[in-house]
Structure 1
């Protein structure tokens, strides 16, 4: 019995670490191994040695249009930034008798796990379609006295749907709920959402660095938020600061953030045009697709600014496209190089294994034969040539 209890406790710890973004940095672990003489030296890499956290905060304050760089809070991962924001607002709202969150669409699975696995003491209602403004407003008003906060992604992961953030902000203000938005996919250079949130979170592992070799995140507080004071205190209390060498690595890469995302945008526009003409593709989900486009265009900073993620609903088995596709394969996104991912397999493999799970996925617009592409900064002609190798009308 003791062994069984130990196993359960270990699993609980593993889930907490995974879904709240708490972890030991690989660079920090490397430093320990060097000090123990298990490694001869640390790997050489470009780092920004002088006050890297200040440099990162200043760059993000500029990108988001924050009043002060002091309202940018750095965390050891994007997931940790989201978890700290949710935990802070959950505790604040508990004191006001509120314990319910409204989730806009199906979002990143680790974020959903904060609620599903009770890593934060909060209940949750899910709006299946984040583009359904009427459902969002009606549900929020129906639970006005209980609603602690509303959480969404701009656009959502994996279906790339965007809510009407102005309408979300308006109803949240009416009922005293907080708003948490995640801009990891849209990026602050593409979308202007800080004024519609109480706190906006981002994984700096993605486009902010583009190198796919460092974990880090940020939470940016809206100084005009009625929760601003509690957020400033709580993000420190519930979040984990980044390791110094990770911050130095991000600081070395983040000056190229704006130019990087501009090239990604140009490439994505070309890639989507090509993919939408392919017989093997039923539909391309991206920032400007279907009903989501009308909400996304309200907040994009310039036309043709979709970010780099596209999700392909394939008319053929995914193996036919994924296996020969000459791109690096991996579950992340936002790197300088283009990546491909069988995203439903990675995020929801347990659901694919059962009939009930597959049916639930289909109800949410997902199935096994969906391919996610994270567009990089290569020359657009080379990307199209690579795609043409496997898509032949």
Structure 2
């Protein structure tokens, strides 16, 4: 199956009982049993037909063994980390989503899960960070917000040499553009709130694993901790995923036009976008992904000017999140990455004047004009 076909026909399609083309919303908490222990579904925390259809769909899209749906991206990440034990150590991408950084530095450290944040675009730095108690390498590629690229195949080689799990956050590229399991990842995760949902109407997290062993371990954690996605939100995600290919293609088309516009201005200090010829790691990205996506970050020189730009945009909505049909604009140092200390942000390159945009599917001309009038003012 080609990708656009798989987005619509992957997983569990329709309803075998009624013939409904759309998977029904099974708004149910418990199920009648045909005798003690004789059942297909027992309790909706453990399994629900609508959530199961979504989990089968993301499994197929990522080419994995099993899929899991959670109440948020952070719930998904937390469940993965709950597979580890006190004293374990994980090597993380340094330029990681602020919520992930906060989880590791403020919550998981209470359970003695150790972490080192390193530049995973440098294999040597990853190797240097590995300890005797290291259990996994956790990668974002492209990263949030500087769009740094990590070679997934090389990370797999390092992981195998040290008997580690390789975990990849695939939120920015989506399974339409990138499939980390095909490149060697053991676990792939998504903040499905973003491109997979695509309409700013659902909060969810999805995980795909590449083996029965990991499937059993993660299902045990999911069922035990209970952070599952409800049937209504599961249905919304299935519906959103059907148009993922069309949305990603239009988003990327718009983004390329916007990057050209930014490149032609002399009041933009730096632009981060994997599709640019001089973007670090561009060739690596091309070797493992089929598209560049719709995320762009650029530095306008100062925090004051950045906030002024954000106040002036009309079609770019000032809001948290990304990956929706509407274009969004944000200031990472004061929004998505505010939980990271300023000294650390500056060390990473997340400057006070850094703006991040998530390009939507509006007409590119309108989006460019919106940015032009905001920057000119």
- Ranges of 4+ aligned residues in structure 1 off by more than 6 Å: none
* Higher percent of residues as helix: 1
For the 8 Å contact 1:264–1:377, the answer to whether it is kept is yes
Q: Distance in 1 between matches of 2:172 and 2:24?
A: 25
What's 2:141 paired with? 154
Q: Distance in 2 between matches of 1:223 and 1:324?
A: 49
1:205 has 2:193 as partner? yes
What's 2:17 paired with? none
For the 8 Å contact 2:324–2:360, the answer to whether it is kept is yes
Query: How large is the RMSD of aligned CA atoms in angstroms?
Result: 2.4
Q: Distance in 2 between matches of 1:167 and 1:151?
A: 13
What's 1:7 paired with? none
270-279 or 245-254: bigger deviation: 245-254
Shift in Å, 1:269 = 1.5
Shift in Å, 1:286 = 2.2
Q: Aligned pairs, how many?
A: 326
Runs of 5+ in structure 1 lacking a partner? 1-45, 352-356
Matches for 1:8-87 after TM superposition, within 5 Å:
49=25, 51-67=49-65, 71-87=66-82
What's 2:175 paired with? 188
What's 1:276 paired with? 263
190-199 or 287-296: bigger deviation: 287-296
Q: Distance in 2 between matches of 1:272 and 1:239?
A: 42
Give the direction of change, closer, same or farther, for the CA distance of 1:350–1:232 in structure 2 (3 Å limit): closer
Shift in Å, 1:148 = 1.2
Matches for 1:135-146 after TM superposition, within 5 Å:
135-140=125-130, 143=131, 145-146=132-133
Q: Distance in 2 between matches of 1:136 and 1:350?
A: 24
Q: Distance in 2 between matches of 1:118 and 1:54?
A: 30
State the SS of the aligned residue for 1:218. strand
Matches for 1:1-393 after TM superposition, within 5 Å:
49=25, 51-67=49-65, 71-88=66-83, 90-91=84-85, 99-119=88-108, 120-127=111-118, 129-140=119-130, 143=131, 145-195=132-182, 196-223=184-211, 227-238=214-225, 240-288=227-275, 290-300=279-289, 302=290, 305-315=291-301, 317-326=305-314, 327-349=316-338, 357-392=341-376
State the SS of the aligned residue for 1:189. helix
Runs of 5+ in structure 2 lacking a partner? 1-21, 27-48
State the SS of the aligned residue for 2:174. coil
State the SS of the aligned residue for 2:254. helix
What's the CA shift string for 1:100-147, capped at 9, x where partnerless?
Answer: 1111222112212232124343111111x232122112333xx2x221
Q: Distance in 2 between matches of 1:234 and 1:349?
A: 30
For the 8 Å contact 2:77–2:189, the answer to whether it is kept is yes
Shift in Å, 1:229 = 4.3
For the 8 Å contact 1:131–1:163, the answer to whether it is kept is yes
TM-score, with normalisation over the residues of structure 2?
Answer: 0.80
For the 8 Å contact 1:268–1:306, the answer to whether it is kept is no
Give the direction of change, closer, same or farther, for the CA distance of 1:216–1:194 in structure 2 (3 Å limit): same
Q: Distance in 1 between matches of 2:209 and 2:365?
A: 40
What's 2:30 paired with? none
Shift in Å, 1:297 = 1.6
Give the direction of change, closer, same or farther, for the CA distance of 1:279–1:102 in structure 2 (3 Å limit): same
